[in-house]
């Protein structure tokens, strides 16, 4: 009949179609995170000679116009900038930002020297072990959700089974969301950002670090992808539940 409505909401069907690849993408990402976080490259790397990580000091690095910054004259240059800032405020702000950046780079250079023959994780703590543990828990939750969603969608099922599965699905979803927030916290709390800033320092052998520790960048990109897939899946899931009430 022309006036009869389709029992299946078309927007809902489209949402279900979109949720499937998003859930698959999130599942693949969490599998990759578990795999990449199984081996902490900074914990297995022993810091060797400083020349392995930095170019020669005279050929690089922390230069300010015509003078080089080194450990002995950083404070002197900061004091000098503070004096001239009375007449050149904008210039002072620019100089201080550059000095802070150079100070950060020199502090890390000194850390490499102090921690020679120690693990690189003494300088960069990426929380790999914690990230792996949370990721495994998230992987298990994804695997548990698959049969629960299937049982809920099966027709001609017992009402008690539907209620039990729906309740379990809700509790598992809460656990998934809490674990996601904890994983996000440890990613942000770790030194991945510090490591990225270190690679921007002058005089650092970027090629060495990017080749040796390429998995660090892969792990970060994979977590960003997992975050996007996870959030979009939850948003579409909420829209789908709204369609059920129409």
For residues 219 and 31, what is the distance between their CA atoms, to the nearest angstrom? Answer: 11
3-state secondary structure of 8: coil
Contact assessment for residue 166 and residue 190, using Cβ atoms and an 8 Å cutoff: no
Please indicate, yes or no, whether the overall pTM of this predicted structure exceeds 0.95: no
For residues 201 and 51, what is the distance between their CA atoms, to the nearest angstrom? Answer: 15
- For the chain, which ranges sit under pLDDT 70? 1-18, 56-101, 152-158, 239-246
Domain boundaries, the chain: 10-45+127-244, 54-114
Q: What is the pLDDT of residue 159?
A: 72
Q: What is the pLDDT of residue 145?
A: 82
3-state helix, strand, coil in the chain (%, to 5): 70, 5, 25
Q: What is the pLDDT of residue 165?
A: 77
Q: What is the pLDDT of residue 59?
A: 42
Q: What is the pLDDT of residue 94?
A: 42
Q: What is the pLDDT of residue 17?
A: 64
Q: What is the pLDDT of residue 240?
A: 62
For residues 16 and 35, what is the distance between their CA atoms, to the nearest angstrom? Answer: 29
């Amino acid at each position: 009949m022309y006036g009869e409505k389709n029992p299946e909401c078309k927007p809902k069907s489209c949402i279900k179609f979109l949720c499937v690849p998003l859930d698959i993408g999130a599942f693949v990402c969490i599998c990759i995170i578990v795999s990449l976080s199984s081996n902490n490259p900074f914990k297995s790397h022993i810091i060797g000679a400083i020349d392995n990580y930095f170019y020669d000091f005279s050929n690089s690095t922390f230069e300010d116009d015509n003078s080089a910054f080194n450990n002995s004259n950083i404070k002197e240059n900061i004091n000098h900038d503070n004096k001239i800032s009375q007449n050149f405020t904008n210039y002072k702000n620019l100089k201080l930002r550059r000095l802070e950046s150079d100070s950060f780079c020199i502090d890390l250079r000194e850390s490499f020297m102090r921690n020679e023959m120690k693990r690189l994780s003494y300088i960069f703590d990426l929380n790999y072990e914690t990230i792996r543990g949370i990721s495994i828990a998230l992987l298990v939750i994804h695997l548990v959700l698959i049969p629960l969603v299937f049982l809920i969608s099966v027709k001609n099922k017992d009402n008690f089974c539907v209620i039990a599965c729906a309740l379990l699905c809700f509790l598992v979803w809460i656990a998934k969301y809490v674990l996601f927030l904890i994983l996000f916290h440890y990613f942000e709390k770790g030194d991945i950002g510090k490591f990225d800033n270190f690679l921007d320092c002058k005089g650092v052998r970027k090629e060495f670090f990017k080749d040796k520790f390429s998995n660090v960048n892969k792990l970060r990109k994979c977590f960003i992808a997992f975050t996007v897939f996870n959030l979009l899946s939850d948003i579409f899931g909420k829209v789908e539940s709204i369609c059920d009430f129409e």
